Amino acid sequence: MQEDLMDIICCPLDKSDLELEVTQRDDEGEVIEGRLVCSECGEEYPVEEGIPNLLPPDMREESPA
């Protein structure tokens, strides 16, 4: 994810601001691995393979149903 995405995303549960913690960037500075933490409720959302997973915790499984 590009860091400017932070301007439009929010916590899916309470719509509060997220804080970005980066563990890995690529050569162009894109965030590849890390996590997003809600500044209000503290819920954590992973960033994996450059894709932030902003599903609520109960919807996160890889299966469709």
Partner 1 sequence: MTDLAERREPDLVYQPAEDSRLLGDATREFVDEGDVVLDVGTGSGWVASVAAEEGADVVGVDLNPHACREARDRGVQTVRGDLVEPFRNDAFDAVLFNPPYLPTDPDDEGDDWLEKALSGGETGRAVVDPFLDTVGRVLKPEGEVLLLVSSLTGLDEVTERAAENGLATAEVASEKFPFERLIVLRVITDNHQTD
Binding residues for partner 1, rule: CB under 8 A, are: 1-2, 5, 7-12, 15, 49-56, 59, 62-65
Question: Could you tell me which of 9, 60, 2, 64 has the C-alpha nearest to residue 31?
Answer: 2
The single residue listed with the structure tokens 């890390």 is 34
Nearer to partner 1, 17 or 23 (CB): 17
What's the min distance (Å) between Cβ of 32 and partner 1?
11
What's the min distance (Å) between Cβ of 13 and partner 1?
8
The answer to whether the beta carbons of residues 24 and 17 sit under 8 Å apart is: no
Look at residue 37 and give its three-state secondary structure: strand
Nearer to partner 1, 27 or 49 (CB): 49
